[in-house]
Structure 1
Amino acid sequence: MKTISIFLVVFAFCMISNAYGIKNPFKGKKTTLLFRNGLAHKNWLKVRCKSGDNDVRERYMKPAEDWGFSFHDDVFGETLFWCTLYKGPTYKVHKKFDAYVQDKRMPHGGSYNYIAKEDGIYHSNFVQFKLRKMYDWVY
């Protein structure tokens, strides 16, 4: 009974803080997803990201443009953002992938960087600074 009461108090605090814009101390640091259009000259990139709670407006990126967005992890450790990147000019060549999956064992926050190149999508982070190919385009 005591555990349920504690849970209800924490849950109520989270709901009230969301409704009134109060900073939630349980959310931790923001996480950022960054995208770069590294495609060849004149090839635009379309980026569309979603989570269970958020639908980030699609973005058309010109060559060499950077764009990103930030968010807080879910209190319950279930944050997932999936993104679809489309290669211009026809936008038929694409790749859908999980861009961020919250790890309950790791601290919140950080930056996840994705670079779209002609041969696929690459990932790096600010901890290792290593660029590695993660996905091939789907034709």
Structure 2
Amino acid sequence: MKNLSIFIFAFALCMIISDVEGRRTTILIRNGLAYKKWLKVHCASGDDDMGVHYLKPGSPKDYDFSFDDSIMRNTLFWCTLSKGPDYKVSKRFDAYVQNSGKPHGGSYNYVAKDDGIYHSNLVEFKLTKVYSWN
């Protein structure tokens, strides 16, 4: 009976690890602000600080980073986007929350516009406003 319990535990652990491995998640942020407005981006989780990045206006370069979900199923990345003089207008939001009921991996795309922050999952390729600036 003890061997069966060890086998079931090891099998369950392998299933959890195989479910998480190989499916990297990417967060992509784009500056869609009007003419000559810079965007300040700072993303972090409980374990990782991605640092502060500045996106030029009209730049074709986006900011993105990829990561693997936690085996404990508690991955959370939040981002603060800031704009305006001295970056006083900002919005902090949960950019990714791991959900064991939904498949992980893929791309979470955000575009900062003058009236708020928009999201697209690249499946429908439709931007949806999800946050307004403070």
The TM-score with structure 1 as length reference comes to 0.80
* Residue aligning to 1:47: 41
User: What's the CA shift for 1:41?
Assistant: 1.2
Question: Contact 1:29/1:109 (CA < 8 Å) preserved in 2?
Answer: yes
For the residue of structure 2 that corresponds to 1:39, the secondary structure is: coil
* Residue aligning to 1:106: 102
Question: Contact 1:77/1:103 (CA < 8 Å) preserved in 2?
Answer: yes
For the residue of structure 1 that corresponds to 2:65, the secondary structure is: strand
- Runs of 4+ aligned residues of structure 1 deviating over 3 Å after TM superposition are none
* Residue aligning to 2:30: 36
User: What's the CA shift for 1:108?
Assistant: 2.0
Unaligned runs of at least 5 residues, structure 2 = none
Q: For 1:9-88, what aligned pairs fall within 5 Å after superposition? A: 25=18, 26-65=20-59, 66-88=62-84
State how far apart, in whole Å, the 2-side matches of 1:64 and 1:70 are: 23
Question: Contact 1:27/1:74 (CA < 8 Å) preserved in 2?
Answer: no
The TM-score with structure 2 as length reference comes to 0.83
* Structure 1 counterpart of 2:111, from 98, 108, 115: 115
- Count of aligned pairs: 125
1:6-41 Cα distance to aligned partner (Å, 9 max, x none): 36xx59xxxxxxxxxxxx754331000000001111
Unaligned runs of at least 5 residues, structure 1 = 12-23
- Paired amino acid for 1:60: Y
State how far apart, in whole Å, the 2-side matches of 1:130 and 1:136 are: 18
* Residue aligning to 2:9: 6
Q: Does 1:96 align with 2:99?
A: no
CA RMSD of aligned residues (A): 2.3
